[in-house]
Structure 1
Amino acid sequence: MAPPPSLDEQVRRRLRHWPQHPPGAPVTPKQPGTWLRARPGEAQAPNQPFLKLPGTNRLRTLPDGLWLHFSPDPADPYADILCIEACSSLQNLLDKRSRFAPSTTSLLAVCPVPWLLAPCQPHDPTPRWKLIRVLRSEPVDPLVLPVRDVRVLYGLKSRQYEGFARTQMPQAHEYFCPMEALTAERGDENPAMRALLARASAAANFMNLPG
């Protein structure tokens, strides 16, 4: 008998059913470009986007969930990222938090060519690169973009979530939820989850935005 899937895998299986636009995230002038779900892709698709530091080829960050917002301006290319990380232990949480800690080093989002050329929806043959306005022609090299904004949602086991919520303070880019919210069927439709991700929007820090 096959062992039950890990918590990480359970979360990834659910996130594959989440939409291309982060659920609950508003459409605002702060992020007028294109959102695409970069991870998790299909289980058999090895060429998925990843995060890395400049000058490194081996040390990659592979979030359980990764959404990319692409700049709409080819003259000013960047990506905003929303990551979702399932943390099965407090040590796992500390490790994953360290990867997204504020730093003076720029984080890079790397999109492999096969991912860019593939369709983002099974029923729509339009390749992803045509939805990314920062690209003007079919790519022959990976798209590497500096990360402008980082938001991370951590899923914790219920007891650890309750303890963390009582005693700890998150960083400005961090958000937390019980693991069950990520493993639930149709979790992207949960009003509480949608409200949480709406608060993770880049526009949420402003009283109002210029028209």
Structure 2
Amino acid sequence: MLILALFSFACTTSVQSSSSPTSDGKADDDADSADSGGSFVVEQDDGDAGAEGDGGDSSGATSQGPDLPKGASCSTHADCGEGGICEGVGCGEGEGRCVEDPAGRMCTRDLVAYCGCDGKEFKTSGSCPGDRFEYRGPCEPKLADGEPCQDSRQCASGQCLGEGLEGCAPMSQGTCGTADCTADLAPYCSCNGNDFQSSGSCPGRQYAYRGPCEAAE
């Protein structure tokens, strides 16, 4: 009986050992499963990724300068028809722009100083001047060297200088000072959509961009 019991125990142990996977076998199976589980490498097109990362337009088109007034040129309010107004920077003939429906537009509720074309200061909305003007800011006193400016007529030196004059935002500013300017006449597009010419190194006032206004159309 003892011999039969020992023989039965030995057989049972052998069967359990052969049916249970070893830890090494399980690791091998897991590794094989991972290899056969469809692992892959994504290949990226460097050119396409660069284009998307740059956020550029595939056509290569770029916009030039800020949005400019679209109204008809004018010199007085009468040029703009009933209910219209003539406004904007510039006091030369036809340098204003008509606004046909001033009551129907959204205007900021701040009070900004302007130097009017009659040499008198007036204050009104920073986005809707309602009249023509020489420049933003008081007519007097003239600004000392080193002070921010948008037009040479603001400065005691008679010169408003610097690359900051490009652009038509209120914070696009130059600095009053003195400089030797080149004697050439370069074309510029004003912030009211009118062409003017000035020194290539000293435009003398705020402007939308270099070159004629037609270049943006």
**TM-score tier after normalising by the smaller chain length:** under 0.3
Higher relative contact order (CA 8 A, sep 6+): 1
Higher CA-based Rg: 2
Q: Give the number of the structure whose residues are more often strand, by fraction.
A: 1
Q: TM-score, normalised by structure 2?
A: 0.22
